[in-house]
Amino acid sequence: MILTVTLNAALDITYRVPRLEPRSSHRVREVVERPGGKGLNVSRVLAALGHETLVTGFAGGPSGERLRTLLAEVTEEGPVGDALVPVAGNTRRTVGVVDEAAGDATRFNEPGPQITPAEWDRFLETYDGLLHDATAVALCGSLPPGVPVGAYGTLVRAARAAGVPVLLDTSGEPLVRGLAARPDAVKPNAGELAAITGTTEPLRAAEQVRRRGAHAVVASLGADGLLALTPDGSWRAEPPRRLAGNPTGAGDSVVAALLAGLVEGLPWPDRLARAAALSAATVRAPAAGEFDRAVYEELLPGTKVTAQLVAA
Ligand code: ATP
Ligand code: MG
Ligand code: MG
């Protein structure tokens, strides 16, 4: 089973309005609720690819209950196992208002419930237990209030001690602290890479991140594709064309493809080709955690993976 961790899961609510105007009332045309959070997106994509997967993290209060109900319902693509740890606080809601005239969205993200030290300890016990049955683990997203900033360092070390390959996808100080524990891979996007290295040159930044502890760095560069520095070699991967659509969750699909390719024993270039095609197909789907299967199958054969020269 592939395990994903989302410490700051969310109940994602989208309102559609004909046109968004400040200081006025709006008639909401449609309300859609979805399970939200980066690891949950990864697991949904993995399930759709036919992999057995389980999500853990925290869920609490009425919005936590709703999140779990929705998670149980997203099984048309494939079942996602629920090992979320109950907490006293209410799971955060993320609210997006889609302006149908402009075709864009305005988002409001709650910070998340305060996690108590006892709840964090309970999570660590659950996580250690789940690692026994995991073939790989992904640690995804931001930390809720109350969780120590070094949390990902602790979770990376536990995975490595259990012999489970671990991929970290987060930003800022939690990423810096996780890197020091030497994860098997990290997947920063261009902004996350620049923020922790101080350089906007992706190759130099990725080399620096690798020196700081990651065995492999897969940098996602939006429509420019992927840059990967791995123990087996370095490559760039690009989909055959740029796609217009909704890029939210494209990075989560990169993580899903990398984990799927790892547990299937694929060589790195094949993992990267799949990651580029799958993430592009995610841009063509309406929401994070989903992808357009026909677009994925159409793009995969034309996805280019080329060797990248790196500093010795
Ligand atoms: P997330 O919202 O999941 O956190 P991210 O910011 O981490 O996303 P991006 O770098 O934006 O990740 O996108 C991930 C990958 O998706 C890119 O590396 C690329 O392969 C693919 N991708 C993104 N935008 C496009 C696009 N417009 N056309 C084709 N592929 C794209
Ligand atoms: Mg992005
Ligand atoms: Mg991302």
Q: Domain with 288 in it: what CATH number?
A: 3.40.1190.20
Determine the pLDDT at residue 246.
86
Of 261, 260, 251, nearest in space to 288 by CA: 251
* First-last CA distance in the chain: 36
Q: What is the mean pLDDT of residues 263-287?
A: 96
CB neighbour burial string for 225-234, b if at least 16 within 10 angstroms, e if fewer: bbbbbbeeeb
Determine the pLDDT at residue 68.
96
Is residue 28, in this structure, part of any structural domain at all? no
Is residue 45, in this structure, part of any structural domain at all? yes
pLDDT band at 77 (very low <50, low <70, confident <90, very high): confident
How many structural domains does the chain have? 1
Q: What is the pLDDT of residues 110-158, one digit of tens each?
A: 988 999 999 999 999 999 999 999 999 999 999 999 999 999 999 999 9
Is residue 109, in this structure, part of any structural domain at all? no
Active site residue 252: yes
**Lowest-confidence segment of 72-76, 88-92, 135-139 by average pLDDT:** 72-76
Is residue 208, in this structure, part of any structural domain at all? yes
Q: In the structure, which protein residues have their CB atom closer than 6 angstroms to any atom of ligand 1?
A: 189, 220-223, 225-226, 239, 242-243, 247-252, 254, 276, 279-280, 283
Is residue 104, in this structure, part of any structural domain at all? no
Measured in Å, residue 249 CA sits from the centre of ligand 1 at 8
Measured in Å, residue 258 CA sits from the centre of ligand 3 at 14
* ipTM of the complex in this document: 0.99
Distances in whole angstroms, Cα of residue 297 to Cα of each of 46, 128, 294: 16, 37, 5
Determine the pLDDT at residue 109.
93
Residue type at 180 in one-letter notation: A
Ligand 1: residue whose CA is nearest its atom 19: 225
Which pair of structure tokens corresponds to residue 161?
A: 């001690």
Measured in Å, residue 100 CA sits from the centre of ligand 3 at 25
pLDDT band at 312 (very low <50, low <70, confident <90, very high): low
Is residue 296, in this structure, part of any structural domain at all? yes
CB neighbour burial string for 180-212, b if at least 16 within 10 angstroms, e if fewer: ebebbbbbbbbebbebbbeeeebbebbbbbbeb
**pLDDT at 261 > cutoff 90:** yes
In whole angstroms, give the CA distance from residue 250 to residue 284.
10
**Angle, CA 252 vertex, CA 20 and CA 302 arms, to 5°:** 105
Residue 119's domain spans which residues?
A: 2-9+36-91+114-307
Q: At what angle do helices 117-131 and 151-161 cross, to 10 degrees?
A: 30
Q: Which ligand is nearest to the CA of 223?
A: 1
Is residue 43, in this structure, part of any structural domain at all? yes
Is residue 107, in this structure, part of any structural domain at all? no
Distance of CA 245 to the CA centre of its chain: 18
Q: Which ligand is nearest to the CA of 250?
A: 1
